[in-house]
Amino acid sequence: MPVLVVGTRDTKAAELDYVGGLIAAAGCEVVQVDVGTRSDGAGADVTPAEVAGWHPTDASAVRSDNRGQAVEAMSAALVGYISSLDAASVSGIIGLGGSGGTALITPAMRALPVGVPKLMVSTVASGNVAPYVGPTDITMMYSVTDVAGINRISRVVLANAAHAIAGMAGNEPPSPADEKPAVGLTMFGVTTPLVTALVSALEADYDPLVFHATGTGGQSMEKLVDSGMVVGVLDMTTTEVADHIVGGVFSAGPGRLDAIIRSGVPYVGSVGALDMVNFGALDTVPAEFADRQLFVHNSDVTLMRTTPAENALFGEFIAGKLNAMPGPAHFLLPEGGVSAIDGPGQPFDDPEALQTLLATIESGVSAPNVTMERLPHNINDAEFAEAALAAFRGVVEASQ
């Protein structure tokens, strides 16, 4: 199975050949993929013209005189090309590039399943790499110098990258003899008691995968759902919906829950931490929210209590997604509060906001394959965990 070496050979042929040669010397098959928008494809195993043919609408767009448009078009074509491959036949992928090359190559890396080795050597890898990595397992390596020739620095950095991808591609992690089916769970600090109880009860029969609901956490879980790597979901913490709608820092975007809709995986959900929108340090909270109820979780995280009107919007969003799920699905509504700080005597106790959220979801869900269940408990109560487990067993059984 080959390692794909991806880059723009019109500007980086020497670097790509150097990396490819080292990977081959380490015993791996190499396929050079040229994504240069002005390249003739010399020296490549897969030429720019071949990649461009996978553009979803117009292959000629990669030859646009507008560099930005050409790079964007080639990136879309590369996603199409990579997606056309049998992921099981690719042992790894490595890309080299500056800001443009990184933006071009990483979307295609994200199209590969989690577990396929992915390494991007980039001039922008020492900054905020979230837009490039997204919900996947891309390894970013800072190039130190520009990716512009072989010199005393790039020779070492690129060699390290080549040996790293060769090592990853040539050494699959061992599988346990009793590998169990995986289940995805979402958790926040304020829903930890619930998810800890669920993991403890599940681990005899399942491999529980817990995702921190910080935007990329929810996206990562849904990436695994799309990849068919989980057999069910206990989505207890949907707080990312609040950040998406209000403008917090932990949004998973408008596509949250769409993988459940696409896959029909057995789903149990709830409203964990929808009492809050997340921001950074206190001085980073937008001025428009200065008069809102704020709670300093720590020096780097400030929580803002959500209002009844906002909770109505969350409920409408979630109800719409639930109605689109092919099922089986089960959604739990905790009448005693949605987090550790929501409930009688707690900082975010707001009965009106809570009841607005629960009532909006309950009245908005009409799909017959979705079971709605109200419970007179806080989401972290032991009785709620027991109900969630019973619901999960029910949706799994219904799916068989």
pLDDT in tens, the chain (400 residues): 899 999 999 989 999 999 999 999 999 999 999 999 888 889 999 999 999 999 988 878 888 888 888 889 999 999 999 999 988 889 999 999 998 899 999 999 999 988 899 999 999 999 889 889 988 899 999 999 888 888 989 999 999 999 999 999 988 777 665 689 999 999 999 999 999 999 999 999 999 999 999 998 999 999 999 988 899 999 999 999 999 999 999 999 999 999 999 999 999 999 999 999 999 999 999 999 989 999 998 888 999 999 999 999 999 999 999 999 998 999 999 999 999 999 899 999 999 999 999 999 999 999 999 999 999 999 999 999 999 999 999 999 988 8
Q: Give the number of C-alpha atoms closer than 13 A to the C-alpha of residue 84, restricted to the C-beta side.
A: 13
- What's the DSSP call for residue 273? T
Which domains are present in the chain? 2-170 (3.40.50.12020), 182-399 (3.40.50.12030)
Q: How far apart are CA 185 and CA 212, in angstroms?
A: 9
Closest C-alpha among 388, 149, 378 to residue 266: 388
Three-state SS at 370: strand
Tokens at residue 6, please? 């991806």
Q: How far apart are CA 391 and CA 400, in angstroms?
A: 15
Tokens at residue 262, please? 């696409």
Residue type, 108: A
Closest C-alpha among 394, 395, 390, 381 to residue 197: 381
Q: How far apart are CA 392 and CA 388, in angstroms?
A: 6
Q: What is the pLDDT of residue 146?
A: 83
Q: What is the pLDDT of residue 7?
A: 96
Pairing assessment for the beta strands 29-34 and 92-97 based on DSSP bridges: unpaired
Tokens at residue 72, please? 């964007």
Residue type, 315: G
Tokens at residue 235, please? 């989505």
Pairing assessment for the beta strands 118-122 and 92-97 based on DSSP bridges: parallel
Q: What is the pLDDT of residue 299?
A: 84
Say what the pTM is.
0.79
Q: How far apart are CA 176 and CA 219, in angstroms?
A: 26
Q: How far apart are CA 265 and CA 369, in angstroms?
A: 13
Transcribe 97-136 into DSSP letters: ESHHHHHHHHHHHHTSPTTS-EEEEETTTTS--HHHHTTS
Are 186 and 217 in contact by the 8 Å Cβ rule? The answer is yes
